[in-house]
């Protein structure tokens, strides 16, 4: 009976993980030296089927490389900027609009 329960549990786990696709995302940091170019990073992400990325700095070269790639971008906020953004929603919206308005979003 114990073997049957283990077998059923194993089958249930296998079926539940295969039945729903999950997107994988990564954080893309800019601290370091000898970093690959944004175009090379996007190519690597696409080759690994990574569909989501979080960046903490609206780097224009990175955003341009990600434009049209089909990779979803989340722009994180640094802790030191939270108070300013929370106190002025209009400025926060204006800042994101001015950063992203010329990027290809397709």
pLDDT per residue rounded down to tens, the chain (106 residues):
666 656 666 766 666 655 455 677 888 888 888 899 999 999 999 999 999 999 988 888 999 999 999 999 988 878 887 888 788 877 677 665 555 555 555 5
Listing DSSP states for 80-100 in one string gives: HHHHHHHH-HHHHHHHHHHHH
pTM, rounded to two decimals: 0.63
Residues 6+ positions from 36 with CB-CB distance below 8 Å: 44
């Amino acid at each position: 009976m114990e073997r049957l329960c283990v077998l059923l549990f194993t089958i249930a786990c296998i079926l539940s993980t295969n039945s729903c696709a999950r997107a994988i995302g990564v954080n893309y940091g800019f601290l370091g030296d000898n970093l690959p170019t944004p175009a090379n990073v996007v190519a690597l992400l696409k080759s690994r089927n990574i569909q989501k990325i979080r960046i903490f700095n609206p780097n224009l070269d990175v955003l341009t490389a990600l434009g049209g790639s089909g990779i979803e971008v989340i722009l994180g906020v640094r802790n030191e900027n939270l108070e300013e953004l929370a106190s002025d929603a209009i400025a926060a919206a204006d800042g994101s609009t001015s950063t992203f308005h010329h990027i290809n979003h397709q």
